[in-house]
């Protein structure tokens, strides 16, 4: 049986590599890894295979004649490492025994340099991933980011600054453990103007972060900043948002966002996602901006324009709430379904004409799991020594899921 050891080399400087890793490397017949991983072990006169591609490495091992292989990976083998993919491929083979050997990760090292405990730090990676910076930062007190050559600390800080978060403290570590190690701490707006290597990490500090519990509560209507723009009332929001069947990493459209009440409540549930508030009226846009600032829901992107034209360049939605269509219901639903044929859609209407239009669209586009709910709400109001029930306009809530057929 072949034995494969996936060995974390640690933070960089080999003085941080522990004895178990060193002895395992010495015992292997063949060492595998990227050139910069192998360079310090060439003098051991082992068989060498240079690659950082998981499939190629595994195929080499499958076909090879050696008994013990050591795959060298940077940092800790269990922390955003090539080890994950390699392990998944190798353990499928009964004739191969796999052992991962951990090491000091960049998160552990950097937190120690800042004298921080790292057990409560949210950690994410920008290496080959679609990284939602804003949601991670606004929902966590500290966010560790493993940056990349395409997504450096200054680039990330530019994004934070553009969203009004330039005041946040940012710690950047560059070339950690090496003689040219550099650690910089400043506000995001200042970090955005600096230059950094691709080999860097950062921690964004946000003492004013949003607790995940905020996404569990219903916001009272009077908590929102309001004006002339229409606002979906609390009880209707609760039912409508429930029908969206949200997940935390969803991309959501709020079309006809009005005051932004639905946008805010949805965004508080998207701690890994983004909401796009599409609104044509400039006064309403100003209200949405004020409510975003009040509730700190910077994972909302405001799109000032008419649907469906304004959604053409947006990422594909997982869910879509339509609070106002300006008579373009069919065109909007058609455009949304073209972006995601299986999207969850919820439509609110007040008039019977709009209800009929919504039902026609639901039938035309063959939606699945269709529900139509009529919500009539009456709320008490104190008049002298009496409590009177004041009725609100009934609302029709139409929901369904795209069937995949246009």
pLDDT at 270: 96
Q: Closest by alpha carbon to 256, among 237, 281, 274? A: 281
Task: Say how far residue 281 (Cα) sits from the centre of its chain.
Answer: 29
Cis status of the peptide bond prior to 308, with omega within 30 of 0: yes
- DSSP annotation of 75 reads B
Rounded to the nearest angstrom, the gap between the alpha carbon of residue 1 and the centroid of all alpha carbons in its chain is 41
Quick count: other Cβ atoms within 10 Å of Cβ 87? 21
| Percent of the chain residues past pLDDT 90, beyond the cut | 83
Residue 130 pLDDT > 80: no
Query: Nearest 5 degrees, angle CA 395-CA 398-CA 401?
Result: 160
Instruction: Provide the pLDDT for residue 268.
Output: 97
Give the separation between CA 191 and CA 394, rounded to whole angstroms.
Answer: 51
**In the predicted structure, residue 74 carries a pLDDT above the cut 70:** yes
C-alpha span between 136 and 143 (Å, rounded): 7
pLDDT of residue 7: 97
Euclidean distance between CA atoms 173 and 11, whole angstroms: 12
pLDDT at 295: 96
Can you read off the two tokens belonging to residue 125? 């990676």
Q: Over the chain, what is the mean pLDDT?
A: 93
pLDDT (0 to 100) of residue 205: 98
Give all strands (DSSP E) within 305-343, no chain letters.
319-322
- Would you place residue 141 in the very low, low, confident or very high pLDDT band (cuts 50, 70, 90)? very high
Beta-bridged to residue 375, according to DSSP, are: 395
Question: Model confidence at 128, in pLDDT bands (50, 70, 90)?
Answer: low
What b/e readout covers 133-164, taking b as 16+ CB neighbours within 10 angstroms? bbbbbbbbebbbbbbbeebbbbebbbbbbebe
pLDDT digits 0-9 by tens, 144-163: 999 988 899 999 999 999 99
State mean pLDDT over 367-386.
Answer: 88
Interatomic CA distance for residues 113 and 82, integer angstroms: 25
243-291 pLDDT per residue, tens: 999 999 999 999 999 999 999 999 999 999 999 999 999 999 999 999 9
pLDDT at 327: 86
Burial class (CB in 10 A: 0-12, 13-18, 19+), 230: middle
Which residue carries 């799109």 as its tokens?
Answer: 303
pLDDT tens digits, 4-37: 999 999 998 999 999 999 999 999 999 999 999 9
**Residue 37, both tokens:** 């991983």
> Cα separations (Å) of 375 from 64, 235, 295, 389, 401?
68, 8, 27, 16, 20
Average pLDDT over residues 187-209: 95
The domains located in the chain, with CATH, are 2-104 (3.40.1010.10), 107-205 (3.30.950.10), 212-401 (3.40.50.150)
Q: What is the mean pLDDT of residues 213-228?
A: 91
- H or E stretch including 345? strand 344-349
Q: With left for phi above 0 and alpha for psi between -120 and 50, is residue 304 left, alpha or beta?
A: beta
Please state, in angstroms and rounded to a whole number, the distance separating the CA atoms of residues 239 and 373: 9
Classify residue 29 by its DSSP letter.
S
> In angstroms, rounded to a whole number, what is the distance separating the alpha carbons of residues 358 and 343?
16
pLDDT class for 325, splitting at 50, 70, 90?
Answer: confident
More confident residue, 134 or 229: 134
pLDDT at 405 over 80: no
Element (H, E) at 372: strand 368-375
- Closest by CA position to 105, among listed 76, 77, 65: 76
């Amino acid at each position: 049986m072949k034995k494969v050891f996936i060995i974390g080399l640690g933070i960089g400087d080999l003085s941080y590599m522990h004895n178990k890793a060193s002895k395992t490397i010495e015992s292997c017949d063949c060492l595998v890894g990227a050139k910069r991983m192998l360079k310090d072990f060439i003098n051991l006169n082992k068989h060498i295979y240079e690659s950082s591609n998981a499939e190629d490495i595994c195929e080499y091992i499958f076909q090879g004649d050696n008994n013990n292989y050591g795959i060298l990976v940077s940092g800790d083998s269990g922390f955003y490492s090539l080890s994950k993919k390699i392990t998944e491929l190798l353990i499928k083979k009964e004739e191969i025994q796999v052992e991962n050997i951990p090491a000091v990760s960049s998160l552990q090292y950097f937190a120690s340099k800042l004298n921080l405990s790292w057990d409560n730090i949210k950690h994410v990676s920008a290496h080959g991933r679609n990284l939602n910076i804003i949601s991670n930062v606004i929902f966590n007190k500290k966010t560790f980011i493993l940056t990349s050559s395409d997504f450096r600390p200054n680039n990330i800080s530019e994004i934070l600054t553009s969203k009004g978060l330039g005041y946040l403290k940012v710690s950047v570590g560059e070339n950690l453990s090496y003689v040219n190690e550099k650690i910089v701490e400043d506000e995001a707006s200042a970090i955005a103007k600096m230059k950094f290597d691709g080999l860097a990490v950062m921690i964004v500090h946000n003492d004013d972060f949003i607790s995940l519990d905020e996404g569990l509560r219903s916001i009272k209507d009077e908590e929102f900043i309001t004006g002339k723009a229409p606002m979906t009332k609390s009880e209707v929001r609760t039912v409508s948002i429930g029908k969206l069947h949200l997940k935390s990493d969803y991309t959501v459209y709020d079309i006809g966002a009005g005051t932004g009440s639905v946008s805010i409540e949805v965004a508080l549930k998207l701690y890994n996602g983004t909401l796009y508030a599409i609104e044509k009226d400039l006064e309403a846009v100003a209200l949405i901006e004020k409510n975003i600032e009040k509730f700190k829901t910077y994972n909302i992107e405001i799109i000032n324009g008419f649907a469906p034209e304004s959604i053409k360049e947006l990422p594909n939605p997982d869910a879509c709430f339509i609070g106002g269509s300006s008579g373009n219901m069919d065109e909007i639903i058609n455009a949304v379904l073209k972006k995601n044929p299986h999207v969850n859609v919820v439509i609110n209407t007040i008039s019977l004409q709009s209800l009929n239009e919504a039902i026609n669209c639901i039938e035309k586009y063959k939606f699945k799991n269709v529900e139509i709910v009529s919500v009539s709400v009456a709320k008490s109001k104190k008049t002298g020594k009496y409590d009177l029930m004041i009725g609100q306009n009934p609302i029709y809530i139409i929901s369904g899921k795209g069937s995949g057929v246009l």
